[in-house]
A and B are shown apart, each in its own frame.
Chain A
């Protein structure tokens, strides 16, 4: 039996884990870091994923994709309000967002697949065997389109997705394995982009989800943005710089805001300091935790309503919850911890690393699917009600939210006029009464035999499988024949599109470590060549001609090395460049200091 890995495909970070002999284990990269930032750099030299892409973000924001999970299974209209925070251009085709990078466009599943491939490579390097099967986690409150998009991403990455499992339930598996907890557990999961609350009953190895609720557009990113908005205003007031006009500066502000938020979880104050571009000075400000918490208070409150609804759906009072578990990096914020404690009246657990617990749980589930663990069994639910459109634009519910999956509902269809040969069926997900207020999942036409009105009888089965994904089948009751149903997803890729993307994925990928090292070295070489050329322009008069000559030689040599496939040669070229330009850098530094001093004097004079 080939090994199945567990993958946490997060908004901000992703991880891969597997079942080792003594329990689930996260696989770290070569530099020892477990988290792979969910960032993809589509550079001229090739693909960068994870930490190298994060470094690339400030340099070339329009070619660096982050937080792509927020776009999974979505159309542009769904994300209109946050577009200003993203440096890349979006388009839409067939209800699916396409991210424009240079001449090409990429669907969110394609970008996610690049992250999945990186994790696959990491697992293969660590385990020494090919990995083709995976369990991938999604937010519990993900709808059918978002789950399908995640499954597509797996396919494009060359992974058979054996199970899509909900993040909070995955976390409960990791906790349950460790502590052998019994009773009712609330899992509060606030990640980079999404929020989930799941209420489970644990008994003799059965993990039964009683109810789940959440918000797939509420996470750490939104907390960052509150701070970003403040900083943008502040920079405009104090320095007269419009951050929105510079994508590079926008990304810098975003990353600094994230850092400040993280520091404020451990300390009551944090200093934010970074230099503005084009010599506009340095932005400097100390933020207090109280200030930050005042900015995000309503976001914290937004997580409370889903908690109350989940409790009510589970038929429980807060007092009946035996344990509360915190999952997701954002639960490190003290304001979250205290608010959760206040709501449930219990000190929440956070014994396992909140960044890793979901991946660990996915590995536990992988072990169950592989048949290695027959003690534990997860009984999960569908987060949203499923229905079909009926007369008057009203939704008729077939499967209620929080129904244990897999589950199915059958509906009989017939004709209203003689000889009618088809019925249009529109499938929706959501809790509202009117069609327009719910999420359209798919449409299809049911074929009926041409007979007098009301004579045909075709039964349609709507089945939600253990992944929370809808499958539709139909059968003619009169003839007993089953008919295939061509379902057109409202916000998803077609099978043909996924096929094409699988093929394309091989053309634009760093297939092995070597290729990736070359790409990283080339990207670095580009940066140093650009910086040196800029420096030469400023320093022409400050250094001797023969020195300029040798710098030009070094640039040429590096360009030649860059065109080769050997990353060591490129690295050697970079080292040479650093040596040759050392003096120039010093001279320029001195000149800058002198200028600064002179301008200071000048300002003293003019004051």
Chain B
């Protein structure tokens, strides 16, 4: 049985950058999509391959989640090591590498925050600069909260129960405020997603489009850095006020 049966049946011709233009095995020119047209061996994906291209999606932020999953499943069927257990070492290694890349691509694009961070890195090469900076308007509140949190942690159960209870209630209220704030940021991020998706592709009026793009990216970057900061504090609050719980994970990473 040949592996051809498990290539995604998208029908559309795709320009997927492979690592080489020649088959690693039989040295013939590559004609197939992921498999050599002549010897049917699986080909390594290029390390430069971006995740959107890998998963056959346009570089947009509101994406078709169902299409994403379908492509992921189809490509898993093409590359997964379980289907290469009886193949030679070369094919096994390629299967492993391709699947690892595919899994990372899928995980990154599935989560809206990771997706946005990845896009910024891809477009501006500067996602590393996304620091966790506190939102300017919350600065004073957060300072006070940190003090309360430190005091609460220093009080062990049993002693000064009254003060402890007081702090606990205050921190729980702070937590609700910050969670609401985080949700607001996520709404604003969604707005940026739509602005990004509405921008024309670069070919139509390059310089102006580029500057528009950069503005959206910068806006997203600020929201993301504020949100990460708030998220970390919320996690700290959850950990301190309900010690048995692990920080939960919403659809937003």
Contacts and interface: CB of A to CB of B under 8 A. Distances in A.
A313 B104 CA distance: 17
Contact of B103 (A162, A312, A404, A431): A404
A374 B86 contact: no
A406 B85 contact: no
Interface stretch (A20-28, A231-239, A364-372): A364-372
Nearest to B251: A315
A406 B99 contact: yes
B82 A163 contact: yes
A378 B82 contact: yes
Q: Chain B binding site: helix, strand, loop or mixed by DSSP?
A: helix
A463 interface: yes
A312 B96 contact: no
Interface in B67-103: 73, 76-77, 80-83, 85-86, 96, 99-100, 103
A369 B82 contact: yes
Nearest to A314: B249
A315 B249 contact: yes
Contacts of B244: 305
A394 interface: no
A406 B103 contact: yes
Nearest to B86: A371
B233 to A, nearest CB: 15
A1 B86 CA distance: 9
A228 B76 CA distance: 49
Given A406-B100, A407-B100, A379 B76 contact: yes
Nearest to A204: B73
Nearest to A379: B76
A206 interface: yes
A465 B85 contact: no
B198 interface: no
B246 A466 contact: no
A369 B86 contact: yes
B106 interface: yes
B10 interface: no
A406 B96 contact: yes
A377 B80 contact: yes
Contacts of B83: 368, 371, 374, 377
A403 B76 CA distance: 15
Given A369-B86, A379-B76, A466-B82, A312 B107 contact: no
A206 B251 CA distance: 22
A283 B244 CA distance: 42
Contacts of A466: 80-82, 96, 99
Interface string B189-217: 00000000000000000000000000000
B246 A206 contact: no
Contact of B81 (A313, A371, A406): A406
B1 interface: yes
A408 B81 CA distance: 14
A457 B96 CA distance: 25
A443 interface: no
A517 B148 CA distance: 73
Interface string A392-423: 00000000000111111000000000000000
Contacts of A407: 100, 103-104, 107
A370 B85 contact: yes
B153 interface: no
Nearest to B101: A408
B250 interface: yes
A551 to B, nearest CB: 61
A309 interface: yes
B81 A206 contact: no
Nearest to B252: A315
B145 to A, nearest CB: 20
A404 B106 contact: yes
B6 interface: yes
A312 B86 contact: no
B80 A312 contact: no
B5 interface: yes
A436 interface: no
B86 A370 contact: yes
B73 A203 contact: yes
A377 B76 contact: yes
Interface centre among A365, A370, A407 (most CB of B within 10 A): A407
Contacts of A378: 82
Residue among B80, B85, B104 with most chain A CB within 10 A = B85
Nearest to B106: A404
B77 A377 contact: yes
Interface string A1-32: 10000000000000000000000000000000
A235 B244 CA distance: 38
A350 B169 CA distance: 45
A374 B85 CA distance: 13
Interface string B89-131: 0000000100110011011000000000000000000000000
B158 interface: no
Nearest to A206: B73
B249 to A, nearest CB: 6
Nearest to B77: A377
B234 to A, nearest CB: 14
A558 to B, nearest CB: 51
A405 B6 contact: no
Contact of A403 (B1, B82, B103): B103
B19 to A, nearest CB: 14
Contacts of B85: 162-163, 369-371
Interface string B224-253: 000000000000000000001010111100
The 5 closest A-B pairs by CB, nearest first: A369-B85, A408-B100, A404-B103, A312-B248, A466-B81
Given A368-B83, A371-B1, A466-B99, 14 more contacts: A203-B73, A309-B246, A368-B82, A369-B82, A369-B85, A374-B5, A374-B6, A374-B77, A377-B80, A377-B83, A404-B106, A406-B99, A408-B104, A466-B96
Interface of B: 1, 5-6, 73, 76-77, 80-83, 85-86, 96, 99-100, 103-104, 106-107, 244, 246, 248-251
5 contacts: A208-B73, A309-B246, A374-B77, A405-B103, A408-B104
